[in-house]
A and B are shown apart, each in its own frame.
Chain A
Amino acid sequence: MRRLARLLPLLALVAAAGCSEYHYYDISVNFNLTESNGGFSVVGNEVGSLQVCIMTVSGADSGSIRMGPFAQGLPVPSNGQFGIVEFSTFADSGNLVFTMSCYDDTTTTPDCKTGEGTKTVAASTASTITDSLTVNKVAAGCQ
């Protein structure tokens, strides 16, 4: 009994620390190709001129990934289907805000940003959460 009593604080500490579990947020990214609705022009394959895209996460967790140029799905296919970007986190509550910013130059200055999309996802205890995000054209860029 005394040994058990001595172990109780350790067990309580482990229980208080909890066991972290990864949660994966698979965000399917598409580019809006409807120019009349704030999308990129299909003529001239406007999405194909994008050099760099940066996805940032804020809210319950934070992170960012820089993609491109000529890697990780860039340049964007002409059909606008970029694919899935996966974010791993221990967060299982609150909201995760995914923001995708794309630039038509490797210098990711604000004047070179041409596309942006945002999606807020409620964090969950599920192992994998899937959602989608659409990138719209926001500016002409610097090229």
Chain B
Amino acid sequence: MSPLAPFRKWTLSAGIVIALVVTLPLVGLPRVAHADLGDSKSTTADQVEDNDKPKDPSLLDKKPADAAVAQQQQAPIGPPFYEKWQFWAIAGAVVVGAVALIWGGSALYHTIHGGDVRPCNPDFQMRCFGEGQ
């Protein structure tokens, strides 16, 4: 008598284990195939959440700011600013205004301070002195 199980019983158990090992992966493969990898619309709840890609399609829509930036990037580049007549019009107005301000200011200052002194009478023989002389 041998203490080991009979060869026929050992063979049966090994066959059952091997069958399970082979069968279980085959049963699980379809679920893996349907797993949410980001490109599927499946909402299977038992899959791992994909945080990198939102499922809400509205979040992926282009925003108005994106459109403005895109439009700005696509805006045609015009001539240099110094070739625009508006630049020269404004620059000319600024120069003319500055000159007028300086001239007017000095004239106003001169007027406030008495203006021109009266010319010395020739009969006085250059004997005029004082303010403005």
User: What residues make up the interface of A, taking CB atoms closer than 8 Å to B?
Assistant: 14, 17-22, 24-25, 55, 57, 61, 63-65, 67, 71-73, 83-90
Alpha-carbon gap, A85 to B121, bound state (A): 10
Q: Do A65 and B129 form a contact, CB below 8 Å, given A22-B118, A86-B121, A86-B124?
A: yes
Cβ B131 vs Cβ A22 within 8 A = yes
A127 to B, closest residue via Cβ? B118
Whether a CB of chain A sits under 8 angstroms from the CB of B48 is no
What distance in Å separates the Cβ of B92 from its nearest Cβ neighbour in chain A? 25
Cβ A88 vs Cβ B133 within 8 A = yes
Cβ A20 vs Cβ B129 within 8 A = no
Contacts of B1 in A (CB 8 A): none
Contact with A along B54-67 (1 / 0, CB 8 A): 00000000000000
Contacts of A86 in B (CB 8 A): 120-121, 124, 127-130
Whether a CB of chain A sits under 8 angstroms from the CB of B112 is yes
Whether a CB of chain A sits under 8 angstroms from the CB of B123 is yes
Contacts of B113 in A (CB 8 A): 20
Contact residues of B: prevailing secondary structure: loop
Contacts of B133 in A (CB 8 A): 88
From the candidates A19, A21, A87, name the one contacting B129 in the complex (CB within 8 A).
A87
User: What residues make up the interface of B, taking CB atoms closer than 8 Å to A?
Assistant: 111-115, 117-118, 120-121, 123-133
What distance in Å separates the Cβ of A83 from its nearest Cβ neighbour in chain B? 6
Alpha-carbon gap, A137 to B132, bound state (A): 32
Apart from the given pairs A17-B112, A57-B130, A73-B125, 7 other A-B contacts in the complex at a CB distance below 8 Å: A20-B113, A21-B114, A73-B127, A86-B124, A87-B129, A88-B117, A88-B118
Q: Do A61 and B127 form a contact, CB below 8 Å, given A17-B112, A19-B112?
A: no
Q: Do A90 and B126 form a contact, CB below 8 Å, given A22-B131, A22-B132, A61-B131?
A: no
Alpha-carbon gap, A25 to B128, bound state (A): 10
Cβ B125 vs Cβ A64 within 8 A = no
Cβ A22 vs Cβ B117 within 8 A = yes
Alpha-carbon gap, A20 to B130, bound state (A): 14
Alpha-carbon gap, A88 to B132, bound state (A): 7
19 A-B contact pairs sorted by A residue (CB < 8 Å): A17-B112, A20-B113, A22-B118, A55-B129, A63-B131, A72-B127, A73-B127, A83-B127, A84-B124, A84-B127, A85-B124, A85-B127, A85-B129, A86-B128, A87-B130, A88-B118, A89-B131, A90-B114, A90-B131
From the candidates B111, B117, B123, name the one contacting A84 in the complex (CB within 8 A).
B123
What distance in Å separates the Cβ of A93 from its nearest Cβ neighbour in chain B? 15
Contacts of A20 in B (CB 8 A): 112-114
Cβ A67 vs Cβ B127 within 8 A = yes
